[in-house]
Structure 1
Amino acid sequence: MALRTGARAISESIPITETLSLPVSELDITYTRSPGPGGQNVNKVSSAAQLRFDLKHSPSLPDAVKIRAAELAGSRFTKDGEIVIFAARFRAQPKNREDAINRLVELLRAASIRPKFRTPTRPTLGSKKRRLETKVQRSATKRARSGKVALD
């Protein structure tokens, strides 16, 4: 199964990163009637692309990428473990198919980036002193606004 997107043909796999690629056989693309303007053509041609990718059962992605992709997908991630992308930006079917595939690739590319872990550090003595000093100044400002005069 070869998908033709624009001028290039995607034959076997879609590259995501240098080490990660997605086989085209894992994608399920269907076409529906597109909402929005289109004149007489809108009622006859199914130009909107709906891409379904079974993230949960995909053998080509590592588990860590699957978890991050599910979080990034948000409402596009179904209970069955699929990512559903609906593309109807263009009036032409091939452009909508390419748009859906590009959006899936961008999502998986973002999910493949490992987040940097923050190593917790302790505040310095100087920052503690500065914080307490600003608290004392703020307290004095608020006390002065209250109208009560403190007798020292």
Structure 2
Amino acid sequence: MLPSVDAFLPEIQFQTSRSSGPGGQNVNKVESRVELRFHVADSQLLSEEQKEVLLTKLAKQLTADGLLQVVAQEDRSQLRNKEIALQKFHQLLLKALHKPKARKATKPSKGAVRQRLESKKKHSAKKANRGKGGLDF
């Protein structure tokens, strides 16, 4: 079970910078871009198994130091971008730690098999009657 986003806040570092997105005249003055950094290996909230899964599944998104970086610059507001970055971070963790359900192999019922074979026989007879000297069933 994954803790809530609020529980991760003491382990997350935020850094702001100037955004390249919308902002009008403020785009050159206000630091609205938010970069969230989370050190997976040093986390106290995740189990060792969860850390291993994250390190393998998110290997392409980790820096050389093992930091997971999430960037948000969609909004003009720094506060809103911080919320967006936290949402992205939480969704990333949920997706990486999700265990797919094991598939159970099943077989078609006897009735379904019989029905399929009867349908194939009818179809075959229909096609056989189209040609010369068709067969009657």
What is residue 78 of structure 2 aligned with on the other side?
A: 93
Flag the structure with higher strand content.
1
Flag the structure with higher helix content.
2
Q: Which runs of 5+ in 2 are unaligned?
A: none
Letter matched to residue 126 of structure 1: G
Question: Deviations for 1:10-34, whole angstroms, at most 9, x for unmatched residues?
Answer: xxxxx428xxx43522x23222221
What is residue 124 of structure 1 aligned with on the other side?
A: 109
Tell me, yes or no, if the aligned pair for 2:21 and 2:74 is still in contact at 8 Å: no
Q: How many residues align?
A: 129
- Paired with 2:132 and 2:53, the residues of 1 have a C-alpha distance of 60
What is residue 4 of structure 2 aligned with on the other side?
A: 16
What is residue 32 of structure 1 aligned with on the other side?
A: 17
What is residue 30 of structure 2 aligned with on the other side?
A: 45
- Paired with 1:52 and 1:30, the residues of 2 have a C-alpha distance of 8
- Paired with 2:86 and 2:56, the residues of 1 have a C-alpha distance of 17
Secondary structure of 1:53's aligned partner: strand
Structure index of larger Rg: 2
Deviation of 1:148 after TM superposition, in Å, equals 4.0
Q: Which runs of 5+ in 1 are unaligned?
A: 1-14
- Pick closer, same or farther for the CA change 1:133–1:101 going to 2, 3 Å: same
Q: Could you say what the CA RMSD is over the residues aligned between the two structures, in angstroms?
A: 3.6
TM-score when scaled to structure 1? 0.60
TM-score when scaled to structure 2? 0.64
Identity of aligned residues (%): 33
Tell me, yes or no, if the aligned pair for 2:34 and 2:71 is still in contact at 8 Å: yes
Where do 1:65-104 residues align within 5 Å?
67=53, 71=57, 77-78=61-62, 80=64, 82-104=67-89
Question: Which residue, out of 72, 75, 91, partners 1:106?
Answer: 91
